[in-house]
Amino acid sequence: MTVTIAPALAPEDLARLTAVTTLIRANDTASVLAAAMPSLDEAERAALAAHTRFTHAAVLVFPRTLDGLGAELARRGIQVGQTIPSVVVRDRLSGRYGLPVEELTVGILRAAVTDRLGNPCELEIFAMATPPALVHVAEDERRHGRENHFALAVPRADAIVLCGLREIVAGRMRPDGGGYNGHEDNTILYFRDAQHPQPAFRRLELISAGKFPQLLDLHRRESAAGTHVLRLMTGAWATQAIAAAAELCLPDHLVTMSDLPSLAAATGTDGDSLGRLLRYLATLGLVRASEGGHALTELGSLLRSDVDGSLRPLALMYGGPFYRSFAELTAAVRTGEESYAKVFGEHHFAHMAADPELAELFHASMAASNAVFTDLARMIDFGRAKTVVDIAGGNGALLSRVLAANPPLHGVLLERPHALAVAETTLAPVADRCTLVAGDFTESVPSTGDVYLLSRVLHDWDDAQCRSILATIADAMPDHAELLVIERLLPDVEGGESLAVAWDVHMLCNVGGRERTESHYRALLAEAGFELTATVGLPLDTYVLRARKPLIPAAR
């Protein structure tokens, strides 16, 4: 006599099936997008909703056998179709628990359900046959729910659409593996947000008909958390590789030659070692392989020494003294004191002022953000002004651009004597309209300006010193004058993206100052007697804060 072993779904699995069915009936495409990724802006949510459809929610259950499972589910009111093999989930379980693939039997069963708007949807049931030897897998999976998910289908997918959708989702949820199911001709991309407050929305499946091997390979690689962390930890290597290329003037040589022997001879390097450096620079997008060697990319061209706005000085600074001081970042975090002084024995301004070559490199690196200066001269109307005062304007790069764009304007550069010596060269083309004033802006500033520029100065100082600097400027400024503060701004919300977030740590480590939010600067300005009238965006996550002294109503 043949004995049939019933699938025997455990009570906890039946409860989970009920919960997932309830989830489907309570949601639709718009609501699952809002619930799973609340940080999506309106345009991103609309793009996802236009290209995807809430198609199912899934749960992994653990019957003793798959034989007769459909009939048991039907007795419990869940009408499913034919069981088909699950390749992706089987392979994930195999890798997670170190089990041979051939020892696992995983199937997919689907039951028709409607969402809250009455649209057709599905309850997707992954079932793993669970003999006694695999009970530990069932217990662990029920506890963590790693394979439970909700799914968005991409009805009309191509590689470009799927890539764009993936990028939007990956900005909110970490890639979590995927695969290609040849039984259904589907490419599957999983994403996870392990900290989501609602467990039902912690995992998303983006499913598309067709095979997209390159995109799937990228997604799998980015799913490996250890790989991502390693990539982050080797950021210091990228800094040094870029600095080495700059020091060797490699970008300059790549303009006229591409073969390795010629490049090695021109840079005075070992050919094999230079080839390894070039290969790494290619992964950074700075060079690309070309016929017979390597060629410079558009990004790499920014490191040439002969281009306007060259970032070469920054590469040398970040790979030189700032790189050394960052090695003591832990000390800065523990003490709240800059690590630059710990490494070099004095604050970086004093250290660089004592070394003319280093001071010149620093001012050149500050001037490397010329895109900011170009846009400032274009976006701010200086037409009503006669005199613009650049406070602590370094080598005069900003003032030079403002004067070049406004021929009637007269300029005043206030700086320390060693900086003025460098600025004379920068300001030579407008020397007839420019006055160089030696002084300390923390003590006094000229009182003859209509517009005052304070570019990337306040972030060097703590709040108390900022208040003092702004008060000194307010005392000297005529009542009609305008103050333009140029700084990077920290995002007002935690987790927002901006270069200022990284630069804030740089300021802690190397300067002793800090980056700030717009509201923080607004408060500092107000305490010094200024009113923030506008904030204008510039390139490189920089902004100009326009401020004036409030007008005092005339007495009647």
**Average pLDDT over all residues of the chain:** 91
Task: Considering the candidates 459, 480, 506, 520, report the single residue annotated as catalytic.
Answer: 459
User: DSSP for 6-63?
Assistant: P----HHHHHHHHHHHHHHHT--HHHHHHHH-TT--HHHHHHHHHH-EEEEEEEEE--
* CB-CB contact of 137 with 130 (8 Å): yes
Region 374-387: mean pLDDT is 87
Say whether pLDDT at 4 is over 80: no
pLDDT at residue 6, as a whole number: 60
What is the spatial distance between Cα 118 and Cα 27, in angstroms, rounded to a whole number?
Answer: 10
Region 88-94: mean pLDDT is 91
pLDDT at residue 183, as a whole number: 83
Q: What is the pLDDT of residues 432-450, one digit of tens each?
A: 999 999 999 999 999 999 9
Higher-confidence residue of 5 and 91: namely 91
pLDDT at residue 525, as a whole number: 97
pLDDT at residue 314, as a whole number: 93
Q: Provide the β-strand partners of residue 25.
A: none
What is the spatial distance between Cα 350 and Cα 370, in angstroms, rounded to a whole number?
Answer: 25
Q: What is the pLDDT of residues 120-169, one digit of tens each?
A: 999 999 999 999 999 999 999 999 888 999 999 998 888 999 999 999 99
Sequence-separated contacts (24+) of 308-311 with Cβ below 8 Å: 308/370, 309/368, 309/369, 309/370, 309/371, 310/368, 311/368
Q: What is the pTM of this model?
A: 0.74
Place of tokens 């004592």: 354
CA–centroid distance for 298 within its chain: 20
Count Cβ atoms within 10 A of the Cβ of residue 43 and give its class: 0-12 exposed, 13-18 middle, 19 or more buried.
Answer: exposed
pLDDT at residue 245, as a whole number: 97
Region 87-114: mean pLDDT is 93
pLDDT at residue 554, as a whole number: 46
Dihedral sign from CA coordinates of 419, 424, 430, 431:
positive
pLDDT confidence tier of residue 375, bands split at 50, 70 and 90: confident
Helix ranges (H only) for 256-338 are 260-267, 271-283, 298-301, 312-319, 321-326, 329-335
pLDDT at residue 3, as a whole number: 46
For the question of residue 459 being annotated catalytic, the response is yes
Q: What is the pLDDT of residues 35-49, one digit of tens each?
A: 999 988 888 899 899
Choose among 487, 513, 510: nearest CA to 320: 510
What is the spatial distance between Cα 421 and Cα 418, in angstroms, rounded to a whole number?
Answer: 5
Say whether pLDDT at 551 is over 80: no
Q: Provide the β-strand partners of residue 106.
A: 128
Region 468-492: mean pLDDT is 95
pLDDT at residue 224, as a whole number: 81
Rounded alpha-carbon distances, angstroms, from residue 343 to 199, 268, 339, 444: 48, 31, 6, 32
Say whether pLDDT at 1 is over 70: no
pLDDT at residue 556, as a whole number: 47
CB count in 10 Å sphere of residue 347: 16
Rg (the chain; Cα; Å): 31
Contact residues for 369 (Cβ-Cβ < 8 A; gap 6+) = 309, 539, 540, 542
* Tokens read off for 151: 């799914």
Q: Which domains does the chain have, with CATH numbers?
A: 11-223 (3.10.180.10), 227-307 (1.10.10.10), 356-366+373-548 (3.40.50.150)
pLDDT at residue 225, as a whole number: 74
Region 9-18: mean pLDDT is 93
Say whether pLDDT at 371 is over 80: no
pLDDT at residue 552, as a whole number: 61
pLDDT at residue 325, as a whole number: 94
* Tokens read off for 87: 């390749």
